[in-house]
Amino acid sequence: MRLILLGPPGAGKGTQSARIVEQHGLPQLSTGDMLRAAVAAGTPVGLKAKDVMASGGLVSDEIVVGIVADRIEEPDARGGFILDGFPRTVPQAEALDRMLAEKGIGLDAVIELKVDENALVDRIAKRVADTLARGEPVRKDDNPEAFKTRLVAYRELTAPLSEYYAKKGLLRVLDGMQPIDQVTAEIARILQPQPA
């Protein structure tokens, strides 16, 4: 199964991806996690991505498409995957379509978590508090300034993907304001094998 989780920062993509990983055994391919690892390791990609990530902007399509192209070649991704945080622009979605078409495979579903933007700021504040409570370092882009930039990037560059995937008949929209378990249950229903 090949899935995309769409939604603004703080919509719960990471939380739900982790649950899908657990329940369906699919690897979670999070471009945000991969980029943060590259920044931490000081790789050439990390050096290029560092400042733009800290400001809340988007890393170039070329970089992220390259990362995803390499990652989906790895053995654990052969049987399927969940993409979390990718694609984030129409050119990224087009590049993904080409990559999958070359392999003769396609996407099964694109699940969009719809959330009220006003609630997102509170969610991010909670994520910061939870992270601090676990004694872990807080993400550099979880501050009000960068968060605003991330929301604008979402609205302008990522939101058009809903229409892109709706036209392909792949889009499933869920109410991401529901309790976490409810969202998980709805995703599970979508992922149930359809009767032939």
**Cα of 63 vs its chain's centroid, Å:** 16
12 DSSP 8-state letter: S
Task: Return the range that interacts with ligand AMP (CB under 6 A); candidates 57-65, 104-112, 116-124, 127-135.
Answer: 57-65
Q: Tell me the pairing of strands 2-6 and 171-175.
A: unpaired
Q: Is 71 in the site for ligand AMP (CB under 6 A)?
A: no
Rank residues 52 and 107 by Cβ distance to ligand AMP and give the closer one.
52
Q: Is 184 in the site for ligand AMP (CB under 6 A)?
A: no
Catalytic one among 19, 48, 123, 127?
127
User: DSSP assignment of 91-121, as one string?
Assistant: HHHHHHHHHHHHTT----EEEEEE--HHHHH
Listed in sequence order, the residues at least 6 apart from 4 whose beta carbon sits closer than 8 Å to its beta carbon are: 82, 83, 86, 87, 107, 109, 110, 111, 165
- Active site annotation includes 127: yes
Task: Return the range that interacts with ligand AMP (CB under 6 A); candidates 55-63, 118-126, 130-138, 162-170.
Answer: 55-63
Q: How open is the CA angle 183-186-189, to the nearest 5 degrees? A: 155
Contact 82, 20 (CB under 8 A): yes
The distance of closest approach from Cβ of residue 63 to ligand AMP in the complex, given in angstroms and rounded to an integer, is 8
Judged by CB under 6 A, which of 6, 39, 150, 174 binds ligand AMP? 150
Rank residues 27 and 32 by Cβ distance to ligand AMP and give the closer one.
32
Binding site for ligand AMP (CB under 6 A): 9, 31-32, 35, 52-53, 56-59, 64, 85-88, 92, 141, 150
By annotation, the residues acting in catalysis are 13, 88, 127, 139, 150
